[in-house]
Amino acid sequence: MVTETLAGLRTRLVVEGGRRLAGSLTVPGAKNAALPIMAATILCEGEVVLHRVPRITDVDVMAYILESLGARVREQPGGTLVINSTSVTSHTAPYALVSKLNASFDITGALLGRFGIAEVPRPGGCVLGPRAIDLHLDGFGRLGASVDLEHGSVIVTGRRLRGTTIPLAKPSVGATKNLMLAAVRAEATTRIENAAREPEVVDLADFLVAMGARIQGQGSPSIVIEGVRRLHGGEYTIIPDRLVAGTYLLAGAITGGDVTVRGLDPTMLASLQEVLRATGAEVAAEGVSVRVQAPRRWTATDVTTAPYPGFPTDLQPLIVAYLSLAQGTSTVEETIFDARFVYVSELARMGADITVAGRTATIRGVPALKDAVVEAPDIRAGGALVLAALAAQGTSEIGGLEHIDRGYEFLEERLAELGAAIVRISAAEPVTLRPHVGETQDLAAIVSAFGARPAAGSPGTQPGG
Ligand code: EPU
pLDDT at 437: 40
DSSP codes of every residue in 57-123: HHHHHHHHHHHHHT-EEEEETTTEEEEE-TT----B--HHHHTT-GGGGGHHHHHHHHHSEEEEEPP
- In Å, the largest CA–CA distance within the chain is 73
Closest residue by CA, ligand 1 atom 43: 314
The total of other beta-carbon atoms located within 10 Å of residue 217's CB is 16
Q: Tell me how far CA of residue 123 lies from CA of 132, 174, 290, in angstroms.
A: 8, 12, 36
The total of other beta-carbon atoms located within 10 Å of residue 380's CB is 26
**Residue 212: helix, strand or coil by DSSP?**
coil
For 249, residues 6+ apart whose C-beta sits below 8 A from its C-beta are 259, 261, 269, 272, 276, 290, 292
**Residue 10: helix, strand or coil by DSSP?**
coil
d(CA 172, ligand 1 centre) in Å: 6
Q: What is the pLDDT of residues 247-301, one digit of tens each?
A: 999 999 999 999 999 999 999 999 999 999 999 999 999 999 999 999 989 999 9
pLDDT at 9: 52
The verdict on the CB of residue 131 being under 6 Å from ligand 1 is yes
Cα separation, 295 vs 120, in Å, equals: 49
Cα separation, 259 vs 207, in Å, equals: 31
**Residue 306: helix, strand or coil by DSSP?**
coil
CB-based contact 19:399 (threshold 8 Å): no
For 114, residues 6+ apart whose C-beta sits below 8 A from its C-beta are 42, 43, 88, 91, 185
DSSP 8-state assignment for residue 267: G
Closest residue by CA, ligand 1 atom 9: 132
The verdict on the CB of residue 174 being under 6 Å from ligand 1 is yes
d(CA 344, ligand 1 centre) in Å: 20
Closest residue by CA, ligand 1 atom 32: 103
Indicate which atom in ligand 1 lies nearest the CA of residue 379: 42
Closest residue by CA, ligand 1 atom 14: 172
d(CA 447, ligand 1 centre) in Å: 38
Q: What is the 3-state secondary structure (H, E, C) of 156-206?
A: EECCCCECCEEECCCCCHHHHHHHHHHHCCCECEEEEECCCCCHHHHHHHH
pLDDT at 129: 72
CB-based contact 290:261 (threshold 8 Å): yes
CB-based contact 163:188 (threshold 8 Å): yes
CB-based contact 36:458 (threshold 8 Å): no
Cis peptide before 221 (omega within 30 of 0): no
Closest residue by CA, ligand 1 atom 29: 173
For 357, residues 6+ apart whose C-beta sits below 8 A from its C-beta are none
d(CA 199, ligand 1 centre) in Å: 14
Ligand 1 pocket check: which of 128, 173, 180 to mutate, most ligand atoms within 8 Å of Cβ? 173
pLDDT at 4: 37
Cα separation, 341 vs 329, in Å, equals: 17
Q: Which CATH superfamily is domain 11-28+241-449 in?
A: Enolpyruvate transferase domain (3.65.10.10)
d(CA 71, ligand 1 centre) in Å: 26
The verdict on the CB of residue 315 being under 6 Å from ligand 1 is no
The verdict on the CB of residue 337 being under 6 Å from ligand 1 is yes
Cα Rg, the chain, nearest whole Å:
22
DSSP 8-state assignment for residue 278: H
The total of other beta-carbon atoms located within 10 Å of residue 375's CB is 18
Indicate which atom in ligand 1 lies nearest the CA of residue 58: 32
Closest residue by CA, ligand 1 atom 24: 174
The verdict on the CB of residue 178 being under 6 Å from ligand 1 is no
pLDDT along the chain (465 residues), means of 10: 42 96 98 97 97 96 95 94 96 88 89 96 74 94 96 93 97 97 97 98 98 98 97 98 98 98 97 98 97 95 98 98 98 94 97 97 98 95 98 96 94 97 76 39 54 39 26
pLDDT at 440: 42
Cα separation, 352 vs 308, in Å, equals: 28
pLDDT at 98: 86
For 405, residues 6+ apart whose C-beta sits below 8 A from its C-beta are 56, 57
pTM: 0.92
The verdict on the CB of residue 439 being under 6 Å from ligand 1 is no
Strand partners, 129: 126
The verdict on the CB of residue 256 being under 6 Å from ligand 1 is no
Which candidate, 247, 296, 241, places its Cα nearest to that of 418?
Answer: 247
d(CA 104, ligand 1 centre) in Å: 12
The verdict on the CB of residue 305 being under 6 Å from ligand 1 is no
The verdict on the CB of residue 236 being under 6 Å from ligand 1 is no
DSSP 8-state assignment for residue 128: T
d(CA 131, ligand 1 centre) in Å: 7
The verdict on the CB of residue 313 being under 6 Å from ligand 1 is yes
d(CA 332, ligand 1 centre) in Å: 19
- In the chain, where does the domain assigned CATH 3.65.10.10 lie? 11-28+241-449, 31-237
Cα separation, 391 vs 385, in Å, equals: 10
Q: What is the CATH number of domain 31-237?
A: 3.65.10.10
The verdict on the CB of residue 423 being under 6 Å from ligand 1 is no
For 379, residues 6+ apart whose C-beta sits below 8 A from its C-beta are 403, 404, 406, 407, 408
Positions annotated as catalytic residues are: 126
The verdict on the CB of residue 54 being under 6 Å from ligand 1 is no
Angle at 15 between CA 12 and CA 17, to 5 degrees: 160
Cα separation, 409 vs 7, in Å, equals: 27
d(CA 391, ligand 1 centre) in Å: 30
Cα separation, 177 vs 329, in Å, equals: 38
Pairing of strands 117-121, 153-157: antiparallel
Which candidate, 74, 73, 70, 60, places its Cα nearest to that of 92?
Answer: 70
CA trace torsion 429, 433, 437, 441 (10° rounding): -130
Cα separation, 374 vs 13, in Å, equals: 10
Sign of the alpha-carbon torsion through 348, 352, 357, 361: negative
Indicate which atom in ligand 1 lies nearest the CA of residue 35: 32
